[in-house]
Amino acid sequence: MGIVALGAGSAMAGVAIAATPAVSDWIDAPLPVPSLAAQTVDVAVPVPTRTPTQTPTPPPVVVPIDDTLPEGMEPAYITSVYPLGGQARYGVGIVLRITFGAAVPVELREVLERTATVEADKPIGLAAWSWPDDYTMVYRPREFWPGRTLVKFRTTWLEDGLADFEPDRRIRIGREQVLTIRQDTQMGKLVKDGELIREVPVSLGKPTWETASGIKTIMERYEMKRMVNPGPREPYDVQVPYALRITPSGEYLHAAPWNEHNLGITPTSHGCTNMSYEDGQWFYEHALEGDPVITKGTSVDVDWWEGPGAVWNIGWRGWKKGAAALP
């Protein structure tokens, strides 16, 4: 950006003298004193045009990325990468999660973060990698992804000797669809692309079997799922239609035709979210892996490790604190 020096204009004041006296008088007489009433004339003096001074823009400082394996360390051993990616479409609560077979030293975490590139074809706001524990590296934005976004994740870990393979992924995010369920009303509200499209009566977990509050995401779906609790407390072995898993420990959204008289009234389940046969079938047919399910108002909170989507419950300040490469 150049700096322009601004100059002020100048003027010279002159005095107009009355009629010329006789030559002899002019020789002998003292010089006349100008009258205060005499008219003055301003004479404008041209000011030369200045050329603005241009300050050269310094070239950007390029800081090379350290892509070398820290001395004395072994390459990271990757055991799983989530999600699978490819042509499948995912919900706006999907996250990138890499799990390692051994604890990753802090020095190596920083290099892994700096050499991992995530690109989205829409603005996503603040986003970062974080380490909820020593074995798990996760990427997400501060808020859910925008609907209909293409995300590309690339690394050079294998090439640089940082890990045993490249975990690259191409992830297509579909429409935005979020289900929010309240304990006090036993009702769910489904919002699609910002518009309320469905109200869902539910029955959450009864006392001592409460459904966990917080954000979870749909992980798997089954047209029919056998659910077993061997006991000794309230054992059961049932075939459940239209079941969508939302935690690895066993919370599901599912149709419960045997319990429809309690839907929208009172919590009676063993922790799952019961819904009608019709609603269960609708979600089975329309839900995507990664769709957020948000439960509010119970006395139990979901733990961060309860499925990929549970990391959304970590506040942004805590999320940044778990990053290795952020300043």
| pLDDT recorded at residue 71 | 86
* Residue 236 token pair: 């059961």
| pLDDT recorded at residue 131 | 98
The tens digit of pLDDT for each residue in 88-128 reads 999 999 999 999 999 999 999 999 999 999 999 999 999 99
| pLDDT recorded at residue 206 | 97
Residue 139 φ then ψ, to 5°: -120, 135
The tens digit of pLDDT for each residue in 246-285 reads 999 999 999 999 999 999 999 999 999 999 999 999 999 9
Q: How far is CA 140 from CA 96, 210, 314, 323, in A?
A: 7, 28, 11, 12
Residue ranges in the chain whose pLDDT is less than 70:
1-66
Candidate CATH numbers 3.40.50.410, 2.60.40.3710, 2.60.40.420, 2.102.10.10; the one for domain 78-175+317-321: 2.60.40.3710
In the three-class reduction of DSSP (H, G, I as helix; E, B as strand; rest coil), residue 110 is classed as: helix
Cα–Cα distance between 197 and 187 in angstroms, integer? 14
Question: CB-based contacts of 194: which residues, under 8 Å, 6+ apart?
Answer: 176
pTM assigned to the model: 0.79
Extents of the domains making up the chain: 78-175+317-321, 177-296
Sign of CA dihedral 308, 310, 316, 318: negative
Cα-based torsion angle of the residue sequence 35, 41, 45, 46 in order, rounded to the nearest 10 degrees? 180
DSSP-derived letter for residue 202 is: -
Cα–Cα distance between 157 and 94 in angstroms, integer? 23
Contact 236, 270 (CB under 8 A): yes
| pLDDT recorded at residue 56 | 63
DSSP result, 134-177: TTEEEEEESSPPPSS-EEEEEE-HHHHTSBSS---EEEEE---E
Cα-based torsion angle of the residue sequence 193, 196, 200, 203 in order, rounded to the nearest 10 degrees? 80
Q: 177-296 in CATH: which number?
A: 2.40.440.10
| pLDDT recorded at residue 214 | 98
